[in-house]
Structure 1
Amino acid sequence: MQIKKGFFLHEIGKETIVMHDGSDNINFCNVISLNPTAAFLWRQIEGRAFTSEELIGLLTEHYEVDEDTARRDTEAFITSLRKAGLLAEE
């Protein structure tokens, strides 16, 4: 899976939001705000394919959390991206 093309992060003050580059006619009614952990993951995977196991590894290495916590957080992150229509899955 990977983040769909045309979406990128934008910093507004202390907030990190997902924006679209405007290349498609997208109804983007809701602003998607990412917490610092989700923004970290986004930056690590932006522009390339990734697996949930890779995200778990990134979280355990960067935040020193246990694998179960990282797995739950990874599942929540992927679910959020999927619900927002931001994932391209093969």
Structure 2
Amino acid sequence: MQIKSGFMLREIAGQSVVVPLGARVVEFNGIMTLSESGALLWRELEKNSSVDEMVEVLISEYDIDRETARRDVEKFIKSMVETSIIEQ
């Protein structure tokens, strides 16, 4: 999985948001606000982390079990794919 070029994570007024840049502005109208865990997963995507690595990061950062972490990672990735922000 890889974040498509032209998308960046920014802090705006204390919120983590994904903003389109350049030509992506035409394709992606608006911005996407991420939760704290969503921003954490985004930064993992920037490092080209695998799903398993992302699950491990969630487990180490939050007090959740592996099944919940995997479900959350898969939901996050699905959302990013549906909005055409990442490529699988």
- TM-score interval, smaller chain: 0.7 to 0.9
Give the share of equivalent positions with the same residue, in percent.
35
4+ aligned runs moved over 4 Å, structure 1? none
Q: Which has the higher helix share?
A: 2
- TM normalised by structure 1 equals 0.84
Q: Which residue number corresponds to residue 84 of structure 1?
A: 83
- For 2:56 and 2:81, the matched residues in 1 are separated by 20
RMSD: 1.7
1:1-90 pair list within 5 angstroms = 1-24=1-24, 26-46=26-46, 48-89=47-88
Specify the SS of the correspondent of 1:26: helix
Provide Cα deviations, 1:3-55, integer angstroms capped at 9, x if missing partner. 11221111111221111221456322232111110001112331x42321111
Q: What amino acid maps onto 2:2 in structure 1?
A: Q
- For 1:13 and 1:73, the matched residues in 2 are separated by 25
Specify the SS of the correspondent of 2:72: helix
- For 1:41 and 1:71, the matched residues in 2 are separated by 12
Report the number of matched residues. Answer: 88
- TM normalised by structure 2 equals 0.85
